Amino acid sequence: MRGRVITQWLAGLLLLLSVTAVFLPSASAASAPPAAEKSAGPAVVVIPVKETVEEALTAFLERAFKEAKEAGAEHIVLVVNTLGGKVESAIEIGELIRGSDIPTTAFVEGKAVSAGTYIALNADYIAMQPGSTIGAAAVVDGSGTIVDNPKTVSFWVKEMTEAAKLNGRNPDIAAAMADVSATVSLSEQIGRDKKKGEILSLSASEAEKVGYSELTADNVQAVVEWLNLDNRTMIEIEPTIAENTARFLIHPVVATVLLILGIAGVAIELLVPGFGAPGIIGILSFGLYFFGSYITGLAGMEAVVLSVIGIVLLIIELFVPSFGILTLLGSASIITGVVIAAPDLKTGFVSIGIALVVATVIVVLFARTNKGRGIWNKFILRDRLTTEEGYLSADVRTTLVGQAGTALTPLRPAGTALIGGERIDVVTSGEFVAAGSDVVVVKAEGTWIVVREKESETK
């Protein structure tokens, strides 16, 4: 039964894992609208950039830009409203925008902060909604504290200034947005300077005055009209349900919880077999963990395959002891698969470490409190058939000891004797006893009834 249950949820694992408004210019004169490009297609594609800048957003934008190219789009409008995110993801998105053959406009709908500023700077044009802001692009750690590592700051400032230079924007302003030690004089344009120790942010009107925005507009339609593309079809590309789900699943906390459930569920099913539900929960948890990583492009099928191989090796260890070799190989395979599927090595190792500790506690507590209560245990024979438990494997004939009888057949040394009116298979200690001879029972052990010839007994 144990093997059948394991086989059933292993098959489920393999099946599951093989298995997604009107244009209103500002009071200040807006920059002259660019001449519409020669028609490369019939549509303007609108893509939202309204989430944290991380791997899921990168994967979504890669798909969106690909679909825009396949549709022969004439222009892409990125609707930016983000507080930023990971530097690595921002750089990848910047490369995606720069490498596209389709002209791009970033429309800052609310905030283009930190990594969002960098994304906007890589676009051909920037338009901003009244009340929106751009800037405050200093690198911060997980707690929101500004990072002062010289190498990190220098690298990020270089990326920001180069992005600003792409379309003739003042690189000193970009540096002032990213580096607290940078200074820039803006009093003539906006009436204030950026001093050392501050981080520069610009409002929509300020950005337009210093050349960081070509237009202040209320909505996307106004931007499209400014681009002289208002007679084109507008196509909006939104994240799919699978992409939104994946974004949730790869969150470090969610991913760690999935790993805890996955490890604990599989371990409980292996060590305390017969429940079924823990194994199913474990399989689904592992499946969701790798689904999120696969959809967001963090990992390919190799991570899934490694983890499946690891689980299979652990199962084999239960039936084919290998002195721990299979356990070590299986554990290493699972850990490698999990780490590969994580956003980065540090996050992967932290998640798997926490998951192993918590899962171990869960498994120990579960094993102690639920041993023998599995639903399948109703079909498993657990009673020991011992004499102490009241079970007898054969009739115990100790009451025959001392009784006399007659050999019905020659005893050579086994044969049949009539004892107490019952034909009984008997055996001697090795001597021959002729048929008809009187015998007496001297020992009864299980099915063995030992007799001796009565005459020799009386001598």
Q: Is residue 326 part of a domain?
A: yes
Claim to verify: residue 263 and residue 331 sit in the same structural domain: yes
Q: What is the pLDDT of residues 43-71, one digit of tens each?
A: 899 999 988 898 889 889 999 999 999 98
User: Dmax of the chain from CA atoms?
Assistant: 138
- The answer as to whether 25 is a domain residue is no
- Please determine, for residue 249, whether its predicted confidence score (pLDDT) is greater than 90: no
* 361, 440: one domain: no
d(CA 9, CA 289): 17
Look at residues 446, 453, 447 and name the one whose alpha carbon lies nearest to residue 431. Answer: 453
Count of other CB atoms within 10 angstroms of residue 88: 15
- DSSP labels, 341-405: TSSSHHHHHHHHHHHHHHHHHHHHHHHHHHTT--GGGGGS------TTTT--SS---GGGTT-EE
- Structurally, the chain folds into a number of domains equal to 3
Q: 176 and 272 share a domain?
A: no
Q: CA 3 to CA 389: how far, in whole Å?
A: 28
221: in domain: yes
Contact 125, 95 (CB under 8 A): no
Q: How high does pLDDT run on average in the chain?
A: 80
pLDDT of residue 34: 54
260 shares a domain with 232? no
* Residue 82 DSSP SS3: strand
Least confident of 56-65, 105-114, 179-188, 335-344: 335-344
Residues 48 and 155 in one domain: yes
Whether pLDDT at 309 is above 60? yes
Do 57 and 108 belong together in one domain?
Answer: yes
Give start and end residues of each alpha helix (H) in 73-126.
87-99, 115-121
Cα dist. 143→139, 146, 147, 216, 379 in Å?
A: 11, 9, 10, 33, 54
314: containing domain: 242-373
Residue of 159 and 245 predicted with greater confidence: 159
Q: What is the 3-state secondary structure (H, E, C) of 157-223?
A: HHHHHHHHHCCCCCHHHHHHHHCCCCCECCHHHHCCCECCCCCCEEEHHHHHHCCCCCEECCCHHHH
CATH classification at residue 431: 2.40.50.140
pLDDT given at position 454: 82
Q: Write out the two tokens for 313.
A: 């090796």
Residue 10 within any structural domain of the chain? no
Tokens of 126: 């920037």
Spatial contact of 27 and 57, defined as CB atoms under 8 Å apart: no
In this prediction, residue 430 carries a pLDDT of: 83
Least confident of 233-237, 254-258, 289-293, 318-322: 318-322
329: in domain:
yes
List the structure tokens of 218.
């209320």
Instruction: Specify whether 229 is located in the same domain as 133.
Output: yes
> Which of 323, 356, 373 lies at the terminal end of a domain, its last residue?
373
Q: Which of 209, 239, 269 is the last residue of a domain?
A: 239
The CATH number of whichever domain residue 156 belongs to comes to: 3.90.226.10
Residue 6 pLDDT grade (very low, low, confident, very high; cuts 50, 70, 90) = very low
Q: Which of 155-169, 317-331, 434-448 has the lowest mean pLDDT?
A: 317-331
Does the residue 259 lie in any domain? yes
Is 378 part of any domain?
no
